[in-house]
Amino acid sequence: AQTVTQSQPEMSVQEAETVTLSCTYDTSESDYYLFWYKQPPSRQMILVIRQEAYKQQNATENRFSVNFQKAAKSFSLKISDSQLGDAAMYFCAYRRGGVRTSGSRLTFGEGTQLTVNP
Amino acid sequence: DTEVTQTPKHLVMGMTNKKSLKCEQHMGHRAMYWYKQKAKKPPELMFVYSYEKLSINESVPSRFSPECPNSSLLNLHLHALQPEDSALYLCASSQVGRTREFYEQYFGPGTRLTVT
């Protein structure tokens, strides 16, 4: 079974600074996807960034980037130039690859609560 | 339109009540999901519907009864719930198919359920 571990229950960062959230996972699959989801206090879960396991290049989305280390099974999220609106719970998630006609099951980590200090 | 809507936003019900949660999406997605989320915890998958058929049931108690009347709607019927069922119930939707795609799940804002 796949597992996702986020070892930092809480993190804080000063506005405009950079913060890195850690995520490790365990799987025997070679084809999979990894995601970072953000859940602000309003509770709407939104996708921040995604990474395909077969791509060596790290994904980036504006101020968000990942450091994907496949051999180490590590998938950290870096937030640059942190903003107050980045304050949220961040979940790392895993999904098996391949064709999924029955829907895609996500395995979530326990989450990291990020506080952004002004 | 990349929105998943859920109604009601809040629901308080007694243990003998029957109520329903509703979820709707108009993105043409053919997979829809129900999750249960406790405070400061990740979402837990409950059910998955694919092409209006139940494809995954994560051993959820029968007091939760899902229904998918059509490809845009997903209901969760609640009956004889327990106080420990109080949680945020999230609906999500995604594409399915036979191509390599991300099948990103789009989440709704959730229904905050309190069982008294």
What residues of A are in contact with residue B45 (Cβ under 8 Å)? 105-106
Q: Taking CB atoms and an 8 Å cut-off, how many pairs form between chains A and B?
A: 74
Task: Give the pLDDT of residue A26.
Answer: 95
Task: Give the pLDDT of residue A3.
Answer: 93
Residue indicated by tokens 């998630």: A93
Q: pLDDT-based confidence at B95, cuts 50/70/90? A: confident
Rounded Cα distance, B86 and B84, in Å: 5
Using CA coordinates, name the residue in chain B closest to A9. B40
Long-range contacts: A78-83, Cβ < 8 Å, 24+?
A: A78/A18, A78/A19, A78/A20, A78/A21, A79/A13, A79/A18, A79/A19, A79/A20, A79/A21, A79/A114, A80/A18, A81/A16, A81/A17, A81/A18, A82/A13, A82/A14, A82/A15, A82/A16, A82/A17, A82/A18, A82/A19, A82/A116, A83/A15, A83/A116
CA distance B65 to chain A (A): 19
Residue B60 confidence (pLDDT) above 90: yes
Residue from the list B98, B108, B110 with its beta carbon closest to the beta carbon of A101? B98
Rounded Cα distance, A72 and B71, in Å: 40
Rounded Cα distance, A90 and B48, in Å: 23
Residue from the list A98, A103, A111 with its beta carbon closest to the beta carbon of B94? A103
Q: pLDDT tens digits for A41-97?
A: 877 899 999 999 988 899 999 999 999 999 999 999 999 999 999 999 999 999 987
Rounded Cα distance, A93 and A112, in Å: 12
Interfacial A residues in 20-79 facing B (CB < 8 Å)? 33, 35, 37, 42-47, 50, 52
Contact check, Cβ <8 Å, B107/A113: no
Task: Give the pLDDT of residue A99.
Answer: 62
What residues of A are in contact with residue B105 (Cβ under 8 Å)? 47, 104, 106
Task: Give the pLDDT of residue A102.
Answer: 64
Question: Which is more confident, A5 or A29?
Answer: A5
- Mean pLDDT computed over every residue of chain A: 92
Q: pLDDT-based confidence at B104, cuts 50/70/90? A: confident
Mean pLDDT of the B16-39 span: 94
Pairing state between β B4-7 and B53-57: unpaired
Task: Give the pLDDT of residue B103.
Answer: 73
Q: pLDDT-based confidence at B102, cuts 50/70/90? A: low
Q: pLDDT-based confidence at A29, cuts 50/70/90? A: confident
Instruction: Write phi, then psi, for A11 (nearest 5 degrees).
Output: -140, 155
Vertex A94 angle, CA A90 and A97, to 5° = 150
What residues of B are in contact with residue A95 (Cβ under 8 Å)? 103
Q: Say whether A45 sits in a helix, a strand or coil.
A: coil
Pairing state between β A88-96 and A112-117: antiparallel
The CA radius of gyration of chain B, in Å to the nearest whole number, is 14
**DSSP strand E in A6-45: where?**
10-14, 19-21, 24-26, 32-39
Rounded Cα distance, B75 and B11, in Å: 14
Rounded Cα distance, A44 and A89, in Å: 11
User: A71 vs A7, A24, A45, B1, B72, CA distance in Å?
Assistant: 19, 11, 29, 38, 40
Two structure tokens written together for A83: 């903003």
Task: Give the pLDDT of residue A41.
Answer: 86
Mean pLDDT of the B41-53 span: 94
Preferred mutation among B4, B102, B106, B111 to probe A, highest tally of A CBs within 10 A: B102
Task: Give the pLDDT of residue A101.
Answer: 61
Mean pLDDT of the B26-48 span: 94
